[in-house]
Amino acid sequence: MNQTRAPKHLCQLAGLFLLLAMVFPARGAVTIATKGKSPYRIVIATNAPASERYAADELQRYLEKISGAKLPVVTDDARAGSREILLGDNAHLRGLGLKIDLARLGSDGFTLRTEGNRLVIAGGKPRGTLYGVYALLEEKLGVRWFTPELEVVPATNRLSLPALNETQVPALEYREVFWTEMMRDADFAARHRLNGNSYKLTEKHGGRAAVYFPFVHSMDSLVPQDLFKEHPEYFPLINGKRQNGYVQRCLSNPEVLKLAIARVRQWIQEHPEATIISVSQNDTGKWCQCDQCKALDDAEGSPAASLLRFVNAIAEDIQKDYPRIRLDTLAYQYTRKPPKTIRPRPNVIIRLCSIECCFAHPLATCVSQENRRFRDDIIAWQPVAPSLYVWDYTPNFAHYQQPFPNFAALQPNVRFFVEHGVRGLFEQGNYSSGGNGELGRCAPISWPNCYGIPTRTWPGTSTSFSTLITARQRQS
């Protein structure tokens, strides 16, 4: 084989460029720490919210783990220095004269930027700056949070960052992964930039983006079953007979509407923390087929018609008194197809559910009939729903402990949802087995009972959980 050797002067020139790059960092790059020492400090506003104070603590903690240097945290009433990490909107940041439109970042967006010898992490309130810290740690510095107990933090004697000038604003305003690990550890959920209803997020995490009451399937709470004896007309007419039990309600009955409005108003008063009230069907079929309900549903081409008219009427009633409250209803199973002409009011969220779908292949390309129908429904809802959320499914419900081969579909499906106007995503996960299922693990207190074995070992082996975790960490 013929080989061509580069001219000697080109090799020398390449070496010179490499040496210069080592001695003189790229324009905008910053070196935070060297050999466990740092000239930097972290600056927050004197009136910084709890989430930005926590962001400073988290950044200080992980930078020390990475570099060995513990950066001091100061407030912006201190004199500005030449080497600072500026967190959030503070006087030192404003003194630089940078044009950062914090309002455009919303509640969760942030900017990462180097300016001279300074690093800026500035986000919208209440969660943006905290998320900016986590993005820096994960995306730029290689920190990984695999479980609440297992994290990987790369260590280095020289902590440097390249020039940065980027802004991230989440496409999804509401993000909830309904898996046991997230729900039992709020710090873990926040580090993954999740802001859902079921997490124990507090003020230091910036709270939750969506606070539901009740969470879902609320028809029994709106119009209790015990009313059937005196008012069977409140309940669905099916095959010529009013049905009791876990069923839907007769949504064309004006008294049912009055009861539901009164209950929603009661919930709002009793739960002032709530931002979303669930007015949604029970987790069953059994919807009303009385003359009034059926006529509307038939004319509109979907049983979603009587449900949405009912929800809209409640939303209209409460909007003036509670303008910040939205009502959430499901487009689920028999109501998944939107009605022809009835449209959700601006304060109504449509939560489309994908339970019938094939999860082995991406929604956008799967040829299954179930996925084609779901594509038709999301395309139909996209232009008419002012707020479109999705309730998606990620575990193997039939066999919780068996693998569920959905890895090839998870990320493409999230992108598919966003491309079709989805603003909130709930990923129902493996939560109800106490962590025993696929990719889950039991809490220490329940280890002796996991899989029916009396020792804290991985099933089928003599390897302890702690040994296995340590081995996995070494492999990482």
* pLDDT digit string, tens, across residues 4-29: 444 555 445 544 443 434 444 445 79
Please give the average per-residue pLDDT across 336-352, as a whole number. 98
Given pLDDT bands bounded at 50, 70 and 90, which one contains residue 181? Answer: confident
Q: Which residues 6+ apart lie within 8 Å of 409 measured at CB?
A: 359, 360, 361, 362, 363
Please give the average per-residue pLDDT across 230-245, as a whole number. 98
Number of neighbours of residue 316 by Cβ within 10 angstroms: 13
Which of 89-93, 171-175, 204-208, 397-401 comes out lowest in average pLDDT? 397-401
Q: What does the pLDDT look like over 90-143, one tens digit per residue?
A: 999 999 999 899 999 999 999 999 999 999 999 999 999 999 999 999 999 999
Opening angle at CA 357, ends 351 and 359, nearest 5: 110
Report which of 287, 273, 277, 261 is spatially closest to residue 202, judged by C-alpha positions. Answer: 273
Q: Which residue has the higher pLDDT, 468 or 60?
A: 60
Per-residue pLDDT, 398: 79
Per-residue pLDDT, 457: 35
Judge contact between 105 and 128, C-beta under 8 A: yes
The full set of domains in the chain, from first to last, is 25-170 (3.30.379.10), 176-449 (3.20.20)
Judge contact between 59 and 87, C-beta under 8 A: yes
Q: pLDDT at residue 472 above 60?
A: no
Given pLDDT bands bounded at 50, 70 and 90, which one contains residue 174? Answer: very high
Tell me the Cα Rg of the chain. Answer: 27
Per-residue pLDDT, 62: 98
Cis preceding-peptide flag for 126 (omega within 30 of 0): yes
Please give the average per-residue pLDDT across 181-200, as a whole number. 95
Express as a percent the part of the chain with pLDDT over 90. Answer: 80
Q: pLDDT at residue 446 above 50?
A: no
Q: pLDDT at residue 246 above 60?
A: yes
Please give the average per-residue pLDDT across 169-192, as a whole number. 95
Per-residue pLDDT, 418: 98
- Give 412's Cβ-side CA count (13 Å radius): 12
Which residues in 332-371 belong to E strands, given as ranges? 348-353
Q: pLDDT at residue 428 above 70?
A: yes
Q: Which residues 6+ apart lie within 8 Å of 123 measured at CB?
A: 88, 102, 105, 108, 109, 110, 111, 129, 130, 131, 132
Judge contact between 344 and 305, C-beta under 8 A: no
CA trace torsion 156, 159, 164, 167 (10° rounding): 60
The H or E element spanning position 387 is strand 387-393
Buried b (16+ CB within 10 A) or exposed e, 116-142: eebbbbbbbbbbbbbbbbbbbbbeebe
What is the residue-averaged pLDDT of the chain? Answer: 88
Judge contact between 213 and 197, C-beta under 8 A: no
Per-residue pLDDT, 459: 38
Given pLDDT bands bounded at 50, 70 and 90, which one contains residue 400? Answer: confident
Which residues in 23-143 belong to E strands, given as ranges? 30-34, 41-44, 73-75, 84-87, 110-115, 118-123
| H runs (alpha helix) in 320-464 | 369-381, 407-419
Which residues in 253-325 belong to E strands, given as ranges? 276-278
Judge contact between 248 and 286, C-beta under 8 A: yes
Please give the average per-residue pLDDT across 347-356, as a whole number. 97
Q: What share of the chain is helix, strand, coil (3-state, %, to 5)?
A: 35, 15, 45
Q: pLDDT at residue 447 above 50?
A: no
Per-residue pLDDT, 304: 98
Given pLDDT bands bounded at 50, 70 and 90, which one contains residue 404? Answer: confident
**Strand 73-75 with 41-44, pairing:** parallel
Report which of 382, 393, 374 is spatially closest to residue 418, judged by C-alpha positions. Answer: 382
Per-residue pLDDT, 306: 98
Q: What does the pLDDT look like over 274-293, one tens digit per residue?
A: 999 999 999 999 999 999 99
Please give the average per-residue pLDDT across 179-184, as a whole number. 88
